[in-house]
Amino acid sequence: MTDVVGQADPFDPETRAKQYAAGTDEAWVAELLAARRDEIVNRWVEAARHQPFHAGRPERAVADHIPHLFDGLIALLRRRAAGDTDEPAPLEDPHVLEQARGHAADRFQQGLAAADIATEFRLLRQEIGRALRVHLDDQVHHLRPGASLEDLIGAELVVHDALDAAASLALAAFDEREADRRRLAA
């Protein structure tokens, strides 16, 4: 959505995070997350396994699409850091959306509700935030001269926006599924 002079609409939820994160260097954040990938995914699996919707069947808390979704988030940050001006808004990143759709579809087939799937995306966001905070001191003060909190916050805005898109997709898929169910029942 653009305003009358061709500028991005500052109130469009599809592009706000991209606008707010403009000018930040997310490369070091992407590298920090890439270095902590296995830790983040393993902690996500453990947290998901302990959710009530996986009670009695913790083996359902598998990371089929989550590692690929996570890799998509890192790739998104790297492309933004490389200055890809044609980069879509985080909510529109094709790889992130594909993995989010796949995760939601698998979870619906396992009998999870949309809120459960949104909780799994929420857990991933929390694990990413935890890793950034735990390892931030190493990056900002020791390993990466010039790294700033502005960069970190910009990267977090992008990641949060992409995960919000993932949760929105889960809800949209649930709505479609319910509409199909109602049509078949009618």
Query: Which DSSP state fits 170?
Result: H
Task: Identify whether 9 is part of a domain.
Answer: no
CB-CB contact of 107 with 116 (8 Å): yes
Task: Identify whether 134 is part of a domain.
Answer: yes
CB-CB contact of 33 with 40 (8 Å): yes
Arithmetic mean of pLDDT over the chain:
81
Quote the number of domains for the chain. 1
35: domain range?
Answer: 23-185
What is the mean predicted confidence (pLDDT) over 124-153?
77
CATH of the domain at 77: 1.10.490
Task: Identify whether 2 is part of a domain.
Answer: no
Q: Is 113 left (phi over 0), alpha (psi -120 to 50) or beta?
A: beta
The pLDDT value recorded for residue 128 is: 94
Task: Identify whether 109 is part of a domain.
Answer: yes
Give me the amino acid identity at 73: L
Helices (DSSP H) in the chain: which residue ranges? 16-21, 27-35, 37-49, 66-81, 94-109, 114-137, 149-185
Question: Does pLDDT of 27 surpass 90?
Answer: no
Task: Identify whether 118 is part of a domain.
Answer: yes
Task: Identify whether 58 is part of a domain.
Answer: yes
Task: Identify whether 13 is part of a domain.
Answer: no
Question: Does pLDDT of 34 surpass 50?
Answer: yes
The band of 28, judged by pLDDT with boundaries at 50, 70 and 90, is confident
Tens digits of per-residue pLDDT, 167-179?
A: 887 788 777 877 8
Tens digits of per-residue pLDDT, 89-133?
A: 666 788 888 888 888 888 888 888 888 999 999 999 999 999 988
Please choose, from the candidates 73, 1, 70, the residue with its C-alpha nearest in 3D space to the C-alpha of residue 37: 70
The pLDDT value recorded for residue 126 is: 93
Percentage, residues of the chain above pLDDT 90 = 24
The pLDDT value recorded for residue 2 is: 41
Task: Identify whether 172 is part of a domain.
Answer: yes
Most confident of 73-77, 87-91, 135-139, 146-150: 73-77
Q: What are phi and psi of 134, to 5 degrees?
A: -65, -40
